[in-house]
Chains A and B, each alone.
Chain A
Amino acid sequence: MIDLRRAGRRYGEHWAVRDIDLTIQRGEMFGIVGTDGAGKTTLLQLCAALLDPTEGRCTVLGYDTVRESKAVTSRIGYMSQGFTLYDRLSVAENLRFSAGLRNLSAREFTDRSQRLLDMAGLREFESRLAGKLSGGMRKKLALCLNLIHEPDLLILDEPGLGVDPLSRRELWRMLEAFRERGVTVVVASSYMDEAERCDRVLLLQMGHPIGTDRPEALRLAVAGRVYEIVTNDPTRVAGELSSRYSAQGIQVLPDRVRFQHGSTEAPGPDPRLDSMGARTADATLEDLFVFHSNEHAEPFAAWGELPNVETPGAIEADDVSVTFGGFRAVDHVSLVAEPGTLLALLGPNGAGKTTLIRALCGLQPISSGEARIAGTPVTTAATSVRQRIGYMSQRFSLYPDLTVGENMEFFAAAYGLTGSASESAIFRARALTGLEPVAPGTRVEAMSGATRQRLALACSVLHEPAVLFLDEPTSGVDPLSRFRFWQLIRALASAGMVIVVTTHYLEEARYCDRIGLMDRGRLIALGSLPELRRQTASGDTDSVETVFLNALRRPGVAPS
């Protein structure tokens, strides 16, 4: 179906992907897995004949993608990232448009569109405007648009991104149904659980393939090289581990430390590990990326002194609602987070996570209820409250044309730090976030996603806040940097901060002490992961996503 020979694509001086040799068989479900910026989209666009390779050759369905691109595009379905629908057209009109582009007869169209709409559960929404559908429904409709001409090959770019867990499951069910009919599916993903569903996966790291095989076979290659230590003081254990032992990566979870063994030779019994109570853990595909990284986990102690939170305070929401017109974005939410805790707010796009955070910060007027930080209502004393809050927004709101130093100086000034106070705050924040090797004169636009993430964090802790809000902090960051980021967050919590994190990567919540599940403005469950598993009658090892789905099924929570 697809045959790539030493294919590569360059933008300016930068190779987005290079040296890709790939053969995908008819009927395969093939995954291309990597973080944002790894080159997944470029690779898919090469396969969809939307991009010409700079070097090498791409043959799809027997056609050359450069010379016979129209032959390729008329026979495949390509679903790009995001929500590529016409919002002002109805569901049926979007479908008819897609069919019209492909010259379907009226009868074919009626048959197929009805079948597809039934399958996607969109039949009753046929006349609704696409812009008025939920994220999950939009994604399913986008899939239908690409299936209307019954292609033999379906190429999908991050189908599950930002979609609620229920819709994501339905989406995958549709894909599997088509695969059973012989359709070849190529899917790019940054979710490891999606990768596990594929027959074979290509792991992509910074444009280079680091392995192509069945997921089990890939995991087997690193079996026995991943360990975990169960403990109730993971920060201390991680510190000890990093000082005594060279690990490739260290993950600090609330109840355990998980780490990847540094050496490449076959692992044998290691008395040092045994003495720390380490035992082997099940390897995941994410671990493979860690082993293929040419970086190592930084020694824990390398980080500078932790910020000095003068008066730690809890954050409390008491029956908080936020309404926009008739729409209730946050619906009667109550929660408390004590100093030293990491609280994760989970939910799909549009669940109300960001609005809730903005309400708790005093950036968003509260319609009813009250939010307090260390006992002070955020609405009445907004300015004094803001001085105690750090906020790192989605997409790391930095000034890309300014340098590292200029960004930090700007944010220090914004928090009222001047002169030597500003200088020492910047010095400490740089040390804390490991930014010392980055020259202060580096412009932000020239930095990688992981470095930007750390700079954004450094900017948000300059004034040593009591409460730190992180809105989607880990998007676009490779696994090793993510591990490091979570260690740092954990360390900040141990200094007495309350940290509230939102994310739509549900599995990221495993790093947090408490998890709040949000759905359409409501907080449907709150507790530690084991507590949530119990509350929702889930199994002891069930994933966060399964827990979420079980929580949605509980009485009183079901979609209205």
Chain B
Amino acid sequence: MKPARVITLIGKEGRELIRDPITLGLCAVMPLIMLFLFGYAVNLDVENVAMGVYDEDRTPASRDLTERFAATDYFDLRRTFGSLGELEKAMQQGEIRLALIVPRNFHRHLLEGAPAPTQILVDGSYPAIAALAGAYAEAIVSAFPRPRPSAIQPQVRVWYNPSMRSSHYIVPGLFAVILMAFPPLLTALAIVREKETGTISQIFASPATSAEFVAGKLVPYGVVAFFEIVMVVAIGTLWFDVPFRGSVLLFLAAAMIYVLTTVAIGLLVSAVTSTQLSAMLLALVVTLMPSFLFSGFLFPVFTMPLALQIYSQLFPATYFTEISRGIVLKGAGIDSLALPVSLLFLYTLVIFAIATRRLRQKVA
């Protein structure tokens, strides 16, 4: 590798990129679009769940319980029912998603210290919301003051994301997915375009080696990708109010490695394709789709079947999701993230070696 030649190649690539305002603009705008789209759209939070009440007791205690529901943001008290039949009908029609039923003698049982059963009915057709709303409702009921508290009172506390806001969970995961979406595509297109115009054969017919050629692509697109991640992290944490608990420096260092991984995947894609269209499709299939499904960005990996869990380890986005959530949400240090970081590093080296070999000297 001759540094002068690599600099020549980087200079050429940089100039081409700067003179292509559309591509450059897309580099900046696409990640932001994706950030806002997913930051807002993927919302698993429970808010304003329509609820109804059937109060058979009609005592101050039962009214107090009902008010405690209505006072939260989680529930929106739509109706009180006169009969169980009416309530069932409203639930079936989707008018309410959750119902509180306070039986007769609720107040008396409380005073006597006897068990005071209440019933909560949840519409299970949206499982994610049903589970959360049910849990909230249960929490309200169990927090209801009673003269003689029961012996064991569980105190559940949620760590790292105490308010359980999904944006805190989604946004750090998005960093990994966004970086997997655009830099590989950009890199792959830049190389395959040279294949299409034939300029690549001009380079291979010169003293330049394929390692130099690869380095000449890697550096400019690595820089672009690094800017992308800095931008996405800055806007993501500020706009969505995601607390950044860990070290920014550590995060940037890990991001640097991840950026190289993504660009290397782009190289690999370009090494096996010969048209921009096929490069684009292949990049989509090997980067974006698996990183959505298997990185743990939306669906936790540990609940998947074992075979898929192992499979998910093949995708570098899995490691970076872990690193990103670790640093951003948990404030984790290098000691607890050493394994995913070094695996990511190893991953990058292997892909590079394969890509450079595939893109070697000879045209065919």
The verdict on B293 contacting chain A, using a C-beta distance below 8 Å, is no
Total CB contacts across the A-B interface at under 8 A: 86
By the criterion CB–CB under 8 Å, are A84 and B197 in contact? yes
Bound Cα distance A11, B364 (Å): 9
Task: Decide if B363 is an interface residue (CB 8 Å cutoff).
Answer: yes
Interface size class of A (residues with CB under 8 A): 20 to 34
With A11-B364, A102-B207 as known contacts, state yes or no: A84 contacts B201, CB within 8 Å. Answer: yes
Interfacial chain B residues near A51, Cβ < 8 Å? 362-364
Residues of B within 8 A of A50 (CB): 201, 204-205, 361-363
Assess the B198–A97 pair: CB atoms within 8 A.
no
Residue of B at shortest CB range from A77?
B205
CA distance A96 to B363 in the complex (A): 24
Contact A76 B205 (CB under 8 A): yes
Binds B, one of A85-93, A217-225, A379-387, A482-490: A85-93
Please determine whether B11 and A100 come into contact, CB atoms closer than 8 angstroms: yes
| The stretch of B15-23, B154-162, B166-174, B347-355 that contacts the partner chain | B15-23
Q: Is the CB of B197 within 8 A of A93?
A: no
Which B residue's beta carbon lies closest to that of A11? B364
Interface-lining segment among A67-75, A187-195, A319-327, A438-446: A67-75
Whether A98 is near chain B, meaning CB under 8 Å from some CB there, is yes
With contact pairs A50-B201, A84-B201, A103-B2 given, residues A45 and B363 touching in the complex (Cβ less than 8 Å): yes
Q: Assuming A80-B198, A101-B208, A103-B4, is B15 touching A93 (CB within 8 A)?
A: yes
CB distance from B219 to the nearest CB of A (A): 15
- B5's closest neighbor in chain A, by CB? A101
Encode B1-27 as 1/0 by CB contact (under 8 A) with A.
Answer: 010110111011001100110000000
Given A52-B362, A100-B4, answer yes or no on A73-B206 (Cβ-Cβ < 8 Å).
Answer: yes
User: Which listed residue, A76, A79, A83, touches B197 by the CB 8 Å rule?
Assistant: A83
Q: Which residue of A lies closest to B8 (CB)?
A: A100
The one of A70, A73, A82 in contact with B198, judged by C-beta atoms closer than 8 angstroms, is: A82
What's the Cα separation between A52 and B9 when bound, in Å? 25
Answer whether residue B199 sits at the interface, using C-beta atoms and an 8 A cutoff: yes
Contact A100 B5 (CB under 8 A): yes
Residues of A near B364 (CB, < 8 A) are 11, 51
Most buried by A among B199, B202, B208: B202
**B199, A73: Cβ atoms closer than 8 Å:** no
Q: Which chain B positions have C-beta within 8 A of A129?
A: 19
Bound CA span A415–B83, Å: 71
A48 within 8 A of B: yes
For residues 164 through 209 of chain B, which have their beta carbon under 8 Å from a beta carbon of chain A? 197-199, 201-209
Residue positions of A touching B, CB distance < 8 A: 11, 45, 48-52, 69-70, 73-74, 76, 78-86, 88-89, 93, 96-98, 100-103, 129, 145-146
Beyond the given A74-B207, A81-B198, A86-B199, could you list 8 further A-B residue pairs with CB under 8 A, ordered by the A residue number? A50-B201, A50-B362, A73-B205, A84-B202, A89-B12, A103-B2, A103-B4, A103-B207
Q: 8 tightest CB-CB pairs across the interface, nearest first?
A: A100-B8, A74-B207, A78-B205, A88-B19, A84-B198, A101-B206, A88-B16, A97-B12
